[in-house]
Amino acid sequence: MSQEKYDYLIDYVNYMEYITIMQHMLFSTFCEYEGIYYCDADSRIRFWQDIKNSIFVPLLTSDEITYLSGKNPQKIDYFFNSAPEQIIRQTCQRFASTIWGPIEDIINNLMNYERDNYEKLKKAYIEFIRSMIYKKLSTSSTSEIMNIKQALSQLLTFVKMKQDAFNVVGFTTHVGTIFVLDKDLKPGVPKPDSWRYTIRGVSIIFMCNINGKQDFMYAFPAPMFTDDFVNLLQEFLNKTDTTTPPLKENNETPLQDVSYYRYSSTGVNETIPSVPQPLLPVVCSSEDIRNTFTGVRDPLEAATAYAFKLLGFDVRTNVYEKNRAGQDVEIDVKAIKRGLEIYASCKNLDRPVDRSIVEQEVGRVNSLKKLPHLKVLVVSSLNDQARETAKSEGFLLVELNKKVTDEDLDNACIKIREQLREYFETLAPPELVSAYTALQEALNSLKNVEEELKKVITALQKASNKE
């Protein structure tokens, strides 16, 4: 790994330590934290140790931790001698008479550090997230890539909302780093849980005790809400080839060693949802749809089921699955292909679907004992609030902009199939599909060899018994 990459890691560590110490100073009383003597070196060491263990050890590789812990040419432990630590130390030297320290002076000096070094910190933050997303994509199966891109989509929606995502903001720094309680996120806004387990390092979550009740506080670094970060997410979402990451500004090579990153071997039970060539004729015939799904009364459900069938899925309609309470929940369309399960909910109304209907559907699906790999909502149309709610809950939306009748089954099927196909093709690069096909052929060959060996062994055993 290049020295330049480590320079970015150092700046990223500086930025995250700045945010964590700022959160503690600003909200220690509000969140009922144990007091820290900020001008006492031992107290700060314990604090930085906790931050290292809780944030950086799970986030970074062992080589990165080793380098940043002092195994570097400068022999500096960047976890305990970060820029924020140096700022606090220097500020406290001017107030040697008290170990409590000048809190307001420390906070102001720290915020000035973020402001004065913002471009460098922003660049380090974006490059770090670029590297994390790429590493996640490049070591995932295709079904996992689908989940990653869903998380990226949720994050992108959140970022684009910016200040409109919050009812109340706890604190905002000079350049726009935001501290906000979980309860103050507006309804319909994608929750950080929809991406933070998949795309790590984007934001920081803190426990906060308020009047004896636990809540979460999020810190969203200012670079999250910049055009550069939006462009980064869009580049990853638009790419079909995840073997090479999006380039940085000015077409520079990204700051990570990419030679040792690759797709993990695709196991027998892993899924390839992309369909390079349909397995059935692509023409949606109204007569074929009716004959195939005779028991389906709703034209939209029938068109949706047939669209999945054209894409090579095994399809069942109006099936029942158990929820966590043991009750039956009806699924409009259940599509399965090589282990990948998709549940599609269909709403065929002569008016736009509103948020209450979407929320009801979200509740039904999310209550299931076994959740599908992908949730799809197929609608005649829906309003903006309903659309944002569906997206925030991880539903793939298929919109037809009209109520489907028996007379236009074929057109509805074509539109649904095309939207689904485009979505799948963005998630599965052709190279990976080819690799999967080759692997399946190899596995079949091995099974044949295994069968032949069994026959030989059986024959030898019989011959041995006769002797």
For each of the chain's 467 residues, which pLDDT tens digit applies?
455 667 889 999 999 999 999 999 898 888 888 777 788 888 899 999 999 999 999 899 999 999 999 998 889 999 999 999 999 999 988 765 454 457 888 999 999 999 999 999 999 999 999 999 988 888 888 778 888 888 888 899 899 887 688 989 999 999 999 999 988 988 878 888 888 888 889 999 988 888 778 888 999 999 999 999 999 999 888 865 555 555 454 444 333 332 222 222 222 323 333 333 333 334 567 888 888 898 898 999 999 999 999 888 899 999 999 998 899 999 999 999 877 889 999 999 989 999 999 999 999 988 998 888 889 999 988 999 999 999 888 888 999 988 998 888 888 888 898 888 777 755 544 444 444 445 555 656 666 666 777 777 777 776 666 65
Task: Please tell me the number of Cα atoms within 13 Å of 281 on its side-chain side.
Answer: 6
**One domain, residues 304 and 363:** yes
Structure tokens at 291: 């004959």
Let me know if residue 399 belongs to a domain.
Answer: yes
Quick check: 33 and 24 in contact, CB under 8 A?
yes
Quick check: 302 and 426 in contact, CB under 8 A?
no
How far apart CA 62 and CA 82 sit, in angstroms, is 19
**One domain, residues 345 and 207:** no
* Rg, Å, the chain Cα set: 27
**One domain, residues 16 and 156:** yes
**One domain, residues 228 and 357:** no
Structure tokens at 166: 């919050």
Instruction: List, in sequence order, every residue forming a beta bridge with 155; answer none if it has no partner.
Output: none
How far apart CA 459 and CA 453 sit, in angstroms, is 10
Let me know if residue 295 belongs to a domain.
Answer: yes
Backbone torsions φ then ψ of 389, nearest 5 degrees: -65, -45
Backbone torsions φ then ψ of 39, nearest 5 degrees: -95, 10
Let me know if residue 442 belongs to a domain.
Answer: yes
Quick check: 283 and 310 in contact, CB under 8 A?
no
Q: Which domain holds residue 199?
A: 3-251
Place of tokens 């500004």: 249
Structure tokens at 20: 């964590």
Enter the pTM of the model: 0.55
Write down the H helix ranges in 94-220. Answer: 103-116, 118-138, 142-161, 193-196
Let me know if residue 259 belongs to a domain.
Answer: no
**One domain, residues 228 and 290:** no
Place of tokens 């507006």: 186
**One domain, residues 434 and 393:** no
SS3 state at 19: helix
Domain total of the chain = 3
Backbone torsions φ then ψ of 147, nearest 5 degrees: -65, -40
How far apart CA 234 and CA 460 sit, in angstroms, is 62
SS3 state at 400: coil
**One domain, residues 348 and 441:** no
CA dihedral 322, 324, 329, 335 (to 10 degrees): -60
Let me know if residue 263 belongs to a domain.
Answer: no
Quick check: 192 and 148 in contact, CB under 8 A?
no
**One domain, residues 380 and 448:** no
Let me know if residue 273 belongs to a domain.
Answer: no
- Domain end among 251, 271, 306: 251
